[in-house]
A and B are shown apart, each in its own frame.
Chain A
Amino acid sequence: MNDLTPGATGGCRTAPVLKQRGQREVFCGLTGIIWLHRKMQDAFFLVVGSRTCAHLLQSAAGVMIFAEPRFGTAILEEQDLAGMKDAHTELDREVARLLARRPDIRQLFLVGSCPSEVIKIDLARAAERLSQVHAPHVRVLNYSGSGIETTFTEGEDACLASMVPVLKDTAARELLLVGALPDVVEDQMLSLLGQMGIDNIRLLPARRIDDTTAVGPNTVFALTQPFLGETHAALERRGARHIAAPFPFGEEGTTLWLQAIATKFGVSADTFASVTDAPRARARKAILQASEGLRGKSVFFFPDSQLEIPLARFLTRECGMTAIEVGSPYIHDALHGPDLDLLPAGPQISEGQDVDLQLDRARAARPDLTVCSLGLANPLEAEGLTTKWAIELVFTPVHFYEQAGDLAGLFSRPVRRKSLLKLEAAE
C-alpha cells in the first residue's frame, strides 16, 4: 500500500495561501465547450453572447477545427441591447432554426456569457420555455460560462451542475463518476472498477442523453476532475455522498483514488491488488522513463485549470521535482485537501492572480519548468525559461495508469527539447 504520510516536513493543506488581486491571465468558462461538445454527442452549446465569445471559442480551439461544430454563438447586436428587439423572441427564433437544421440534437445548453449576464437575459426562464416548446425530443438547460463568474474549467463544473437537478431519482446503491474524460480513459476506468466487481456505475456527463444517469441518497460519487466544486455541492443536495481522494493522476494518485472507491464498496485487498498490480507496475516504469529529465528540477505553476495542485503532487512525489509555487484559480478544501496533504511542504501556494506580480516572482525564482497559459508561454521562453502550456493538460488523456507516463512526458518534453537544440555556433 502507498505511504500516505506526507513526509517529515508535512503537507501543504495548512500552508498559508497567497491571495492577490490584479490582472488574471486565464480563460473564461466558455472554453470548456470545446471538449464538452465532443463528449456529449447529442448536445449543442448555444452561447448567448458577443463577437468576443465566438472569437474566443475559435481561437482557443486553434481556429476552426470542425467544419460545423456542435456549438455556436447567438451574437447580441445593437438592437438587442437597445431593447428594440425582445431578446427572448430572438432567441426562440434562433433555437428553432438551429434545431430544425440539426435534428440529431437532443440536449441544448443555453450558455450565459459576460454580456448576457450584465444585461440580465434570464436564460433559466428561456430554457424552461424552450424545453416546453421542444419537448420531448430536446431538453434545454442553461448555465453560465461567463468570465465574470467562471474561470476556465469552472465552465464544465457549471454545465455538469446544471444537469444534476434533472437527473432521474434512484434508491439504488450506485457509484457515480463525475467529470468529462476522454473516451479511452473512461473505458480504462470502467474496466478497472469492473474487474474489482464494481459495475453499478453511472457517468456524468453521459455520452448521450438516453444513457440513464440517476442519483439518490444511496449514490456515492467520485470526482475525476479537481474543478467540480459546484457539481459536488449539487450532488450532495440530492443526497449523494462524496468519496474524497487524491485525483487519479500518476500511479500514486490513481491507486489512492481507486482505493478510496474500493474501500467504500468492500473490495478485498487481494482483489484490489490483483486488478491493480500489473498496471501499477507498468505506470511506474513508464513514469520512470518519461520523467528522467525532470528529476531534481524545479517547477512553477501559474493558475489555469485547478489541476495544478494534483499535478504538483504528481511531479513532486513521482517525478522527483521540487515545486516553487503552485498557483490555482481557486482552492476548495473538500476537493483539493487530499492532494494538498500529500504535497510536500515548501512551495508557495497561491490562489487567484496578479499576473505581473506573479511573473516577477517567476523571473526571480527562475524555475526549470514553468507551467502557464498560452499567452505567457512564448514570452517566458524568450526570456530563457522553459515552459509547458497548461491547456494541453486539459486537452490530452492524462488520467489513470496507462496515461501516467504520457503525463510525465508532457512535462519532460519541453525540458528535453531545450537540451536537444544546439543553436549556438560551434566553439
Chain B
Amino acid sequence: MKLTVWTYEGPPHVGAMRVATAMKGLHYVLHAPQGDTYADLLFTMIERRNHRPPVTYTTFQARDLGSDTATLFKTACQDAVDRFNPQAIIVGASCTAELIQDDPAGLAETMGLSIPVIPLELPSYSRKENFGADETFYQIVRALAQPQDRTARMTCNILGPTALGFRNRDDVEEITGLLSDLGIDINVVAPLNATPSDIACLPAAHFNVLLYPETGEAAARWLEKTYSQPFTKTVPIGVSATRDFIAEVEAITGLPCKPDESRLRLPWWTSSVDSTYLTGKRVFLFGDGTHVCAMARMARDEMGFEVVGLGCYNREQARAVRGIARELGLEALITDDYLEVEEAIAAASPEMILGTQMERHIGKRLGIPCAVISAPVHVQDYPARYSPIMGFEGANVIFDTLIHPLVMGLEEHLLTMFREDFEFNDAAGPSHHGGHAQMVVSDTSAGNFSVQMNEGPVPDPTSDGNVIWLSDAERELKKIPFFVRGKARRNTEAFAAQKGISQISLDTLYEAKAHYAR
C-alpha cells in the first residue's frame, strides 16, 4: 500500500484507451465497474476530442457480482460489435475486473466473432499508463501485421503517437514533412489515426521511426525482430537531435539526406544579443524520460541554461535519464511521488522549471516560472495552432516556449536598478503576462471545470535556521528581484557555511556574490 496524492500516470487500461482512441475502426471492450467511464473525459474535455472514445464499459455494479458478470461482458461485447461495426476489438479488464477474474479474453474468444479479437493482459496493480499503451500497441501490431513485400519507394512507419500525448498531432506532421524533404514516404503512422487494416500493412515499410519510446518501443522492437525493420533511436527534439536523427535516417536508408533548414530560426534567436540574459539560467527538468533527456541536452547546448536538477516519473526510462544526469554531474530523481518532486525543486531553487502539469502547480506554489515540456498536460497545452516540439519548427517552438515564462533581459536590469518602484517591481511578474497586481502564488486552476481554492503558503524551504541573517543583510536580500532571490539566499548561506560564518552580514552577502560571480 502506498499513499498517493497525485499521480503522473493513470492505470494501464487508460494507456490502452490512449491507443484505442487514437485509432480508427478499433473498439475496446473494457470489463470495468460503474465509474470507470470517468476516463472518457480525459479525451473529450482535456484533449477536446469531438467524439466519444471507442470504448464500451460493462459498468457492473455490486448486485451483478453475485449473479453473472461474465454474461454481462459477453452482452456488452456483442452489442459493441453490432453497434460500432469495428474492424477489430481489443478486450481487457480494469483494476476491479481483474480481481473478479472473468477472463474477458477467453469469453470473447468463445463468442465466435468474425473480426480479430485481441486480448490484453494489463496488470493494474503493478504497472501504469505508459506500459498499458506500449503493451496494447504491441499486442495490436503482433496480432494484425501481415508478412508482405517492401514498398518500391523508400518508406517508413512512424510509431508511438497516441491520443492524450504531448503535441503528438503536430510532431507527426512536422516529422512527416521532414522525411518527405529527405525523399522518404510514410507508409503508416500508428497508432494515431491508423485503422486495423493500416496496422496490417506495417511490414511494407523499410524502417520505423520511433517518435515516442514510452508508447511505441515494444512494437518497434518486435517489428525489428520479426520483419527486420530497423528503427531510429534518436528522438528529434532540438536542433542537434534533429540533425542526429537525420544522420541516423541516412545511415539506415543509405540515401543522401539534405534537409531544408531555411525555416530553422532557433540558432539565430539564441545567438542574438537579446538572448544573453538566458545565459546560465538555472533550470530543473521533470517529466517523462524521453522528453526530459532531449530537453536537458537542448537546455544546456541550445539555450545556454544551467541544468540544476532533472528526473522522470516513468521507471522504464530511468537508465537513460540517469545517463544524462551523470553527464551533467547531477543525481537523477526517479519517482512518481509528487511531493518528492516538489521537495527536490524547492531545494534546488531553480529560476525556471521545465515540467508537466504537476510542475506547473509546483511552480505556482513556489513562485517559480514553469514551461510545460511533457505529458501529463492539461487543456491549455492542447493548442489550436500548429505547435510541434520535434524537428526544426519544433526547435523554434521550444525556444519561444522556454523564454515566455521569463522576465525579459532588459526588464530584469530595470527591476534590479529600481527595485521599489510601486508599479514596476519584481512582484508584478513579467510585464508581457499582464494582469498581476502582486506576485501570484495562489493557484488559478487551469481546468475551468474545477473548484478553485487554495492551500496555505509553504514555509521557505531554503532557510534552515542554522545561520542567522542580520537585519541589514536581510533587508538587502529583499531588494534582490524575487526570481534570483532564492538563489542569492541559498548561495550566501552555502558560502557562510563553507566559511564557518554563523551570522550573515551585508558584507557576507556581497562576499558571497563575488565568490559566485560568473
Contact = CB atoms under 8 A, between A and B. Distances in A.
Interface of A: 22-31, 34-35, 38, 46, 48, 50-52, 54-56, 58-69, 72-78, 80-81, 85, 87, 90-91, 93-94, 97-98, 114-115, 117-119, 146-149, 151, 356, 373-379, 381-382, 389, 391-392, 395
13 contacts: A22-B59, A26-B35, A55-B14, A58-B7, A62-B445, A64-B361, A65-B443, A67-B361, A68-B339, A78-B126, A114-B95, A147-B61, A148-B61
B514 interface: no
B99 interface: yes
Interface in B101-133: 123-126, 128
A228 B489 CA distance: 54
A81 B458 CA distance: 37
Contacts, number: 233
Given A51-B7, A52-B10, A67 B2 contact: no
Contacts of A34: 451
| Residue from A48, A62, A377, A379 with most neighbouring chain B CB atoms (10 Å) | A62
Contact of B44 (A50, A52, A379): A379
Contacts of A68: 5, 339, 455
B38 A62 contact: no
Given A118-B96, A148-B61, A375 B125 contact: no
Contact of B1 (A26, A63, A87, A373): A87
Contacts of B99: 81, 115, 118-119
B61 A149 contact: yes
Contacts of A97: 3
Nearest to B357: A63
B450 A67 contact: no
Contact of A118 (B35, B44, B100, B339): B100
B6 to A, nearest CB: 6
Contacts of A66: 443, 453-455
Contacts of B58: 23
B288 to A, nearest CB: 16
Nearest to B362: A67
Nearest to B342: A67
A394 B384 CA distance: 29
Given A30-B35, A74-B3, 4 more contacts: A51-B128, A59-B42, A63-B357, A68-B5
Contacts of B399: none
Contacts of A55: 7, 10-11, 14, 39
Contacts of B42: 59
A105 to B, nearest CB: 13
Interface string B419-463: 000000000000000000000000101111111111100100000
B342 A378 contact: no
B125 A81 contact: yes
Given A59-B41, A67-B365, A148 B1 contact: no
A221 B418 CA distance: 62
Given A51-B11, A68-B339, A379-B52, A63 B447 contact: yes
A65 B450 contact: yes
Given A51-B10, A114-B33, A148-B96, A74 B449 contact: no
Contacts of B3: 46, 72-75, 94, 97-98
B35 A77 contact: no
Contact of B40 (A46, A65, A80, A375): A375
B33 A375 contact: no
B48 interface: yes
- Residue among B2, B38, B57, B125 with most chain A CB within 10 A: B38
Contacts of B455: 66-69
A193 to B, nearest CB: 26
A34 B445 CA distance: 14
Interface string B1-34: 1111111011101100000000000000000011
Contact of A52 (B36, B56, B342, B443): B36
Contacts of A151: 34-35
The 7 A-B residue pairs whose C-beta atoms are closest, nearest first, are: A62-B447, A28-B35, A147-B35, A62-B450, A375-B40, A382-B50, A114-B96
B503 interface: no
B124 A52 contact: yes
B48 A378 contact: yes
Nearest to A73: B4
B12 to A, nearest CB: 8
A78 B123 contact: yes
B7 A25 contact: no
Contact of A65 (B9, B35, B95, B451): B451
A77 to B, nearest CB: 6
B49 interface: yes
B62 interface: yes
B490 interface: no
Contacts of A46: 3
B51 interface: yes
B451 A35 contact: yes
Contacts of B6: 54, 58, 64
B44, B49, B376 — which one has the most chain A CB atoms within 10 A of its CB?
B44
B181 interface: no
A65 B445 contact: yes
B50 A379 contact: yes
Given A30-B35, A115-B96, A151-B34, A54 B451 contact: no
B307 interface: no
A373 B45 CA distance: 10
B512 to A, nearest CB: 31
Which of B60, B64, B123, B449 has the most CB atoms of chain A within a 10 A radius of its CB?
B449
B94 interface: yes
Interface in B47-77: 48-52, 56-62, 64-65, 76
Nearest to B34: A147
Contacts of B354: none
Contacts of A50: 11, 95-96, 124-125
Given A27-B35, A62-B447, A375 B44 contact: yes
Nearest to A93: B1
